[in-house]
Amino acid sequence: MLMQKDLLTLMELDSKDVAEILSIAEMMKGGMAKARGRRRGRFRLNMARLKDKVFVMIFQKPSTRTRVSFEVAMRELGGYAITLNVSDIQLSRGESIEDTARTLSRYADAIGARVYAHDDIVRLARAADVPVINMLSDLYHPCQILGDLLTIKEVKGKLAGLTLAWVGDGNNVCNSLIIGSTLTGMIMKIACPRGYEPSQDALNFAREHNGYVEIMEDPREAVMDADIVYTDSLVSMGKEAEREERLKVFLPRYQVNDDLIALAKSDAIFMHCLPAKRGEEVTDSVIDGPHSVVWQQAENRLHAQKALLYLMLTSADMRYRYSRRRASRGRSR
């Protein structure tokens, strides 16, 4: 399968792409030995294609899971990752994003970046010759959602028809989750205070692709009979100056606690992208309780990203071979 060059929001994928990523991730999680050269459906994994590939990652913000899971993913695929803190590179001294992208494209097979402003990753992708992966921006967190979909599928055995209740800030994770739910046929009920709704672009995507998204203020209404209850920090990276104000707006109403989760189905799962602020958006009793799948969810970042890197890097190779063939045909005419 040929994927689009970049992954910036999740809107670059269609339902088939998501199904394929999850399928490859499941195979990879089942064991590299089994995945190597194994046929399944239309595709065959050829791990040799990833040998010595280089993935360069730029971080404007801190990260534990994203950074480590991508580094391990590249290593397990036979390539390697180079991690750059933005303060270590010339970007921090005024070199443009475009010039950084052009330079890194000459060394790396793909570039990942975690940025404050989403526009930075758009500019990076536009100027880079190699695939660019958004490792979180203020607006989207697509890689998180691929791991989350893998987790839900593992635990529930399916995705289509499930109801996911989002409680809290309509943030970057919520936006990509709206796209992911739409592509997999999940119903999303979002409970957030007025002024903290998800992005209009994500909602438009859902509307244009027959997604089912409902926005409401009451968390109890959203969580009622849900299969999945998901929350995230009330103060995302970059929003620290709004901390006091946000805690006043969100708490105590939007905290996922025992009383709230009791309204969901008895076999509902609790999800959180992490890091969690225990005692704010979620209580210890919920995150450490029987509904929680947060550690499985964190692990699945690794497996989903391995599948994503496999497909993006092999697609980039195919595009490159195709463009060379076209160029040489042009010359022979």
Distance CA 136, CA 159 (A): 23
Q: What distance in Å separates the CA atoms of residue 221 and residue 225, rounded to the nearest whole number?
A: 9
254/292 Cα distance (integer angstroms) = 17
We find the least distance from the C-beta atom of residue 38 to ligand NVA, in angstroms, to be 32
Q: Which does 297 bind (CB under 5 to 8 A by kind): ligand CP, ligand NVA, none?
A: none
The two three-digit tokens of residue 253, written as one number: 């109403």
For the segment 273-332, give every residue that binds ligand CP (CB under 6 A): 273-275
Nearer of residues 63 and 100 to ligand CP, judged by Cβ? 63
Which of the ranges 3-11, 150-158, 202-210, 271-279 carries the binding residues for ligand CP, by CB under 6 A? 271-279
**Residue 66: closest CA among 279, 248, 253, 308:** 308
Residue 1 CA to residue 169 CA, distance in Å, equals 35
Structure tokens at 134: 């958004």
* Residue 26 within binding range of ligand NVA, rule CB under 6 A: no
Check residue 96 for interaction with ligand CP (CB under 6 A).
Answer: no
CA distances from 73 to 44, 81, 190 (A): 19, 9, 32
- Residue 232 interacting partner from ligand CP, ligand NVA, none (CB closer than 5 to 8 Å by kind): ligand NVA
Cα(40)–Cα(35) distance, rounded to whole angstroms?
A: 9
20-28, 169-177, 259-267, 279-287 -> range binding ligand NVA (CB under 6 A) = 169-177
Closest C-alpha to 148, from 216, 222, 228: 228
Site for ligand NVA in 180-219 (CB under 6 A): none
Out of 27, 143, 226, 273, point to the residue binding ligand NVA (CB under 6 A): 273
DSSP state of 282: B
- Given the rule CB under 6 A, which of 3-11, 118-126, 233-241, 246-254 is the region that contacts ligand NVA? 233-241
Q: Does 119 qualify as catalytic in the annotation?
A: no
**What binding mask, one character per residue, do residues 51-80 give for ligand CP by CB under 6 A, x or -?**
------------xxxx--------------
Q: Is 29 left (phi over 0), alpha (psi -120 to 50) or beta?
A: alpha
The order of strands in the sheet holding 110-114 is 80-85, 54-59, 110-114, 132-134
Selected range binding ligand CP among 124-132, 156-164, 257-265, 269-277, rule: CB under 6 A: 269-277
Q: How many residues bind ligand NVA (CB under 6 A)?
A: 9
Task: Identify which of residues 188 and 271 has a Cβ nearer to ligand CP in the complex.
Answer: 271
- By CB under 6 A, is residue 60 in contact with ligand NVA? no
Q: In the complex, which residue's CB is closest to ligand NVA?
A: 236
Q: Does 68 bind ligand NVA (CB under 6 A)?
A: no
Whether 273 is a known active-site residue: answer yes
Q: How far is the CB of 126 from ligand NVA (least distance, A)?
A: 23
3-class secondary structure per residue, 73-107: HHHHHCCEEEEEEHHHCHHHHCCCHHHHHHHHHCC
Comparison of 104 and 273: residue with beta carbon closer to ligand NVA:
273
Instruction: Please tell me whether residue 179 binds ligand CP under the rule CB under 6 A.
Output: no
Phi, psi for 59 (deg, rounded to 5)? -115, 115
- Report the alpha-carbon distance of residue 23 to residue 27 in Å, rounded: 6
- Applying CB under 6 A, the residues found at the interface with ligand CP are 63-66, 136, 144, 273-275
Q: Which residues are catalytic?
A: 114, 141, 144, 232, 273, 301
- Applying CB under 6 A, the residues found at the interface with ligand NVA are 136, 171-173, 232-233, 236-237, 273
